Structure 1
Amino acid sequence: MNDEEPFDGPFPGFPGPHGDDGAVPPQRCAGTVCTAYVLLEAIVSPHLAVPVPARLRYRSHDPYTVYLDNHIDLPRPVTWALSRDVLLGGLHDWTGLGDVSVFPGLGTDADSVFVSLRGQDTAALLRARADVVHAFLRWTACVVPPGLESEHFDVETLLHRLREADPPGP
């Protein structure tokens, strides 16, 4: 996707960054992984934003989660796990609780989406182009369409791992 070209549009059940709807849905693809390199901005103050190279990752075997890797130029990037639904909802409304919130920009930032991240000792406010985030989410919908995540999620393996992690009872 060219940075100068806007994304070609949304599709039913997966509205665009500004709430429009009605375009043709994406086709399923044989791929199981999506990776997009993006340039985010860390908002330091109202008049200062610092570019942050980042990567968005999505895997069909973890269909509810989008991974955001910051500082990808370091030996060990900082990785945040985001709900795909929260990221999608954040294109239109304030979504998320706790450590991660996503919300659309207003006014001069209407073409942006903001991601607020809070850790034990740190907090960051990141700005991304809404059309770039939407294009990535549309790509994830080609891998696992929204609403069909449970078909790609191995509940039995998860339950087995949780049972193994629990200490034996009295």
Structure 2
Amino acid sequence: MSTVIDQPVEARLVAAAPRMPSIPATLHYDLSDPFAVRMTFPAPATLEGVDVCWTFARELLAAGLRGAEGDGDVRVRPYGWDRTVLEFRAPEGTAVVHVRSEEVRRFLAATAELVPTGFEHLHLDLDHDLAELMRDAC
């Protein structure tokens, strides 16, 4: 069984520069970071001209399918039944993208098969993480 899920999605860019009607993006989940998901945008869709990856809570993505969620740099909300809006805020500006809600649901279902919601803590290696923190502190 794979410990990584990568799902391509079509993101429709609503507000950002350079303006592109739709861009390929990837939703990513890794068992080694069970609480998080990542969404990566390719270089042509970014101001910097390099791939940009946003990391945020899997729970935020799931809750954003039902209602407006998020207080910080990443916000998620439904847009009707078939679209989900993800808003990414950075000092350089704000990007708003729409993705098909069904693609998000399929991605979340795949992540839940790998790590059921509420059982993420069972996949953490706290001893290893603490050792890494202590190593960096010296």
Question: TM-score by structure 2 length?
Answer: 0.87
Distance 1:162 1:94 in 2: 34
Alignment length, in residue pairs? Answer: 133
Percentage of matched positions with identical amino acids: 29
Higher helix share: 2
- Consecutive unaligned residues of structure 1, counting only runs of 5 or more, are 1-29
Q: 2:39 aligns with which of 54, 60, 68?
A: 68
For residues 52-67 of structure 1, the aligned pairs below 5 Å read: 52-67=23-38
Deviation at 1:49, TM superposition (A): 6.8
Task: Name the TM-score, length of structure 1 as normaliser.
Answer: 0.71
Whether 1:90 aligns to 2:64 is yes
CA distance in 2, matches of 1:144, 1:97: 25
- The reply to whether residue 147 of structure 1 matches residue 121 of structure 2 is no
> What SS class does the counterpart of residue 55 from structure 1 fall into?
strand
1:78 aligned to 2:56? no
TM-aligned CA distance change 1:122 to 1:164, over 3 Å: farther
User: Relative to total residues, which structure has the larger strand share, 1 or 2?
Assistant: 2
* Cα deviation, residue 111, structure 1: 1.0
1:49-68 deviations in Å (ceiling 9; x for gaps):
72011011111111111110
Aligned residues: CA RMSD? 2.1
One-letter amino acid of the counterpart of residue 95, structure 1? E
Structure label with greater radius of gyration:
1
Query: Within the alignment, does 1:156 sit opposite 2:127 as a pair?
Result: yes
Deviations 1:98-155 (A, max 9, x none): 101111113xxx3111101011212101100011100000001111111111111111
| Corresponding residue of 1:129 | 100
Equivalent-residue separation in structure 2 for 1:49 and 1:163 (angstroms): 45
What does residue 86 of structure 2 align with? Answer: 115
Letter in 1 for 2:75: S
User: Are 2:14 and 1:40 equivalent residues in the alignment?
Assistant: no
